[in-house]
Chains A and B, each alone.
Chain A
């Protein structure tokens, strides 16, 4: 049994979710190979070869793979998949974009966002915004799976010594092209990798008021997230959304500020180690999942909190 993990990389480095996905592969058992696809990714492949538990790194270095366009990357993975029992990718927007396309081309179901490995063919995954956990068994010849990073503790990024092999296959479907991107620029840690996350909801009242959270976050070394309500109201961009349809986070500390706690939001953060809720409505459902609840006006509590930490 050999497992192919699709490495996620950004800005010239392996993205942390790759390490959690390798951990899921290790739980399945067997050799773990990593595919690094992109343009000019030699250095990334060298770094990936050091990841603990990886036996081989495949590098597909070609301009066609530069922006992870699924029309080009999916056929590459399909071509390699025949050698593998499982193909795993992080449940990032890239993984979610590419892997269902791979599964359909292989004529197998894809299993989305697993949070636990029961055996080589049986996995647990949340459904209904995490209000139920399904145990699913796959009979597919190649099991195509996306992995929710918060379900698995990351393997070490150093210590391994995998061989690096290049893959010459060049697939350019010529159906899509990259036009541009606007990436959120922030000196704060990435939401899904941060140890502390502070999220704001509709209680913040407007986008400008998020500055209170940013100040506190900078002091704590935290990332800043938001509820869907805050995104829908236009306070902050969608890449900050935590919840069923946004990002899934499980930091050491999650501070929910002015968030009522709709089930769709809880779906994205209830696996956090410690949850703090600050809300002036003492009936808010967020308090039902919070380890520490503070019934207070956030505009008074947040500046005070910033002074005390």
Chain B
């Protein structure tokens, strides 16, 4: 079956972002950008499904700026067969991204779409669920295990109280949680090969998708800083402070 994987270009996991002085957003100038970590897990899962003979073709899709081609090339180096960039310069809300992905789903007719559960920049945790709503697909969010059995997909989900397993009729949307797999690194020969794999660029207009939004960001501020307290010298002093100063035990 055909598998679609969505990837997002985000600020690298290790970068500590700073808010711009004019409070219009965070400063991303000259900051290292990478594939969102949960999207790496999504690509890895698709590649494993292909290695098991379940997936026949993997298509990586990004909705974002021209530079998101870098993350698509990474997905290709990791094992995706071809890539599609829906190019859009401005930052988009999850619903707009889901609409663009829906247009690609209509075009490509995958049986399974895998996305990261959340992007580490906007921390929304919405796109997969929204894509499932727009396509009418079943959804298996926060997946820690995915098994295809005929036309059913069994997904074990990380929920607040532990684990839940659901059976979904294919086609379906899966969003990845941390423990689904450990993504591999791309090998140099695969990085070289990825350069020759097809990467198609489309626009939302060409797909007939309106990327309107009902939300406006008014300002972005740094959070209230928490100042460091004191160092205690012993466990006894710690207990004394917690009992008599902080009064929390």
A interface vs B, CB < 8 Å? 10, 67, 69-71, 74, 92-94, 96-105, 107-113, 122, 126-140, 173-184, 192, 196, 220, 228, 231-232, 237-239, 241, 244-245, 247, 252-253, 263-264, 270, 273-276, 282, 287-296, 301, 304-305, 308-309
Q: Which B residues lie within 8 Å of A137 (CB)? A: 215-216, 218
CB distance A105 to B133 under 8 Å? yes
Query: A112 touches which one: B124, B166, B213, B218 (CB < 8 A)?
Result: B124
Q: Is there an interface contact between A127 and B166, defined as CB atoms closer than 8 Å?
A: no
The 23 sampled A-B contact pairs (Cβ below 8 Å) are: A93-B159, A97-B141, A101-B129, A104-B98, A107-B95, A109-B214, A110-B95, A126-B123, A128-B123, A131-B16, A132-B17, A132-B222, A136-B215, A137-B216, A175-B137, A176-B139, A176-B168, A179-B154, A247-B160, A253-B246, A287-B231, A291-B246, A305-B235
- How many Å from the CB of A260 to the closest CB on chain B? 13
Say whether B238 contacts A294, CB under 8 Å: yes
Q: Does B206 contact A (CB under 8 A)?
A: no
Other A-B pairs beyond A101-B132, A179-B165, 5, CB < 8 Å: A138-B216, A176-B168, A181-B163, A181-B164, A238-B179
Is there a chain A Cβ closer than 8 Å to B232's Cβ?
A: yes
Task: Encode B14-36 as 1/0 by CB contact (under 8 A) with A.
Answer: 00110100000010000000000
Is there an interface contact between A220 and B130, defined as CB atoms closer than 8 Å?
Answer: no
- Number of chain B interface residues as a range: 35 or more
Query: In whole angstroms, how far apart are the Cα atoms of A224 and B34 in the complex?
Result: 33
Given contacts A110-B126, A140-B215, A301-B235, whether A133 and B248 have CB atoms under 8 Å apart is: no
Main secondary structure of the interface of B (DSSP, over half): mixed
Is there an interface contact between A274 and B164, defined as CB atoms closer than 8 Å? Answer: no
Asked whether A93 lies within 8 Å of B158 as measured between CB atoms, the reply is: yes
Chain B interface residues toward A at CB < 8 A: 11, 13, 16-17, 19, 26, 38, 93-95, 98, 117-118, 120-134, 137-139, 141-142, 144, 154, 157-169, 177-179, 213-223, 226, 228-232, 234-236, 238-239, 241-242, 246, 248-249
**In contact, B167 and A179 (Cβ under 8 angstroms):** yes
Known: A122-B218, A179-B165, A238-B179. A308 touches B239 (CB 8 A): yes
| Residues of A close to B161: CB separation below 8 A | 10, 181, 183-184, 239
Residues of B near A69 (CB, < 8 A) are: 166
B220 touches A220 (CB 8 A): no
Task: Using CB atoms, name the residue of chain A closest to B127.
Answer: A100
- Closest B residue to A130 using CB positions: B223
Contact between chains at B160 and A100 (CB < 8 Å): no
Is the CB–CB distance between A113 and B123 below 8 Å? yes
